[in-house]
Structure formats: structure tokens, C-alpha cells
Structure 1
Amino acid sequence: MTPELALTELRGGLIAAMWIAGPLLLSVLVVGVVVGVVQAATQLNEPTIGFIAKAVTLTAALFALGSFLLGYLTEFTIDLFHRIPHLIG
């Protein structure tokens, strides 16, 4: 395996990780910022409010996007297994 081929496969893995984790992290980030602004405006600094809001958002995002994310991960894994003979020799 050449270094270029290894870096290409590593890049593919990082892109797959970005596509899988990105939407979930982005939704939690947006809700965290909104809850933070609301808490700052109302001076209600209770940490459990932010945690519960983020947990509910993550659960909802997983229910909404879970099949897409699992399909993407499965497709990437199957493609990687099919490329193993090319990677080895």
C-alpha cells in the first residue's frame, strides 16, 4: 500500500465521519446556542435546562436521520470491504 493510497482511504474515512456526526453535532450546537441566549436573557442559569434540551434534540435528530446515517455508514463499509483486494495487492 502506497502512502498516497493510505491517505486517500484515511480521507474517505474522515469524510464519512463528518457526514455521520456533522448533522447531529450541528443540531445540538444550534439548540445549545439558542438555549444559552434564552438563559442569558432571562437570567435563568440552570444547567439541567440546557442538558435536557440538547438530549431531546439529539434524540430527535437520531430518529429523523438515523436511517440515512446508518445507510451511509453501511454503504461506506461495504465499499471499503470491496476495495480490500485493491488495497492489499
Structure 2
Amino acid sequence: MSPETALTELRDGLEIALWVGGPLLLVVLVVGVVVGVIQAATQLNEPTIAFVAKAVALTAALFATGSYLLGVLVEYTTTLFQRLPHLIG
């Protein structure tokens, strides 16, 4: 395997990781900021509230996008296994 091929496969893997993890991390980030602003405005600094809100938002995001994200992972894995004999030599 040439270094260019290895870097291409590494880039593809990182891109898939970004596509799968990005939306979920973005949802948790937005909910965390909103809950933080609300807690700062009301002076109610309870860490459990932020954790529960983030957990609920992450669960909702997984229910909403889970099948799409799983499809992306399955497609990438299938194509990687099909390319494996060509990558090895």
C-alpha cells in the first residue's frame, strides 16, 4: 500500500467519523449552551439539569438520525471490505 492510498483511506475514515459524530455533537453543544444561558439567567446552578437535558437531546437526535447514520456506516464498511483486496496488493 502506498502512502497516498493510506492517507486517502485515513481521510475517508475521518470524514465518515465527522459525518456520524458531528450532528450528535452539535445537538449536545447547542443544548448545553441553551441550558447554560438559562441557568445563568435564573441562577439555578444544578449540574443534573444540564446532564439530563443533554442526555434527552442526544437520545432524540439518535432516534431522528440513527437510521441514516447507521446506513452511512454500513455503506462505508461494505465499500472498505470490497476495496480491501486491492489495498493489500
TM range (shorter): over 0.9
Q: In 2, distance between residues paired with 1:86 and 1:30?
A: 42
Question: Under a length normalisation based on structure 2, what TM-score does the superposition of the two structures give?
Answer: 0.99
Q: In 2, distance between residues paired with 1:14 and 1:60?
A: 24
Matches within 5 A, 1:1-89: 1-89=1-89
Runs (5+) with no aligned partner, structure 1? none
- The percentage of counterpart residues that share the same residue type is 75
Q: How far is 1:85 from its partner?
A: 1.4
* SS of the residue 1:44 aligns to: coil
Q: How far is 1:86 from its partner?
A: 1.2
Over the residues paired in the alignment, what is the CA RMSD in angstroms? 0.4
Q: Structure 1: which 4+ aligned runs deviate by more than 2 Å?
A: none
Aligned-partner residue type, residue 21 of structure 2: A
Question: Under a length normalisation based on structure 1, what TM-score does the superposition of the two structures give?
Answer: 0.99
Runs (5+) with no aligned partner, structure 2? none
Q: In 2, distance between residues paired with 1:20 and 1:58?
A: 13
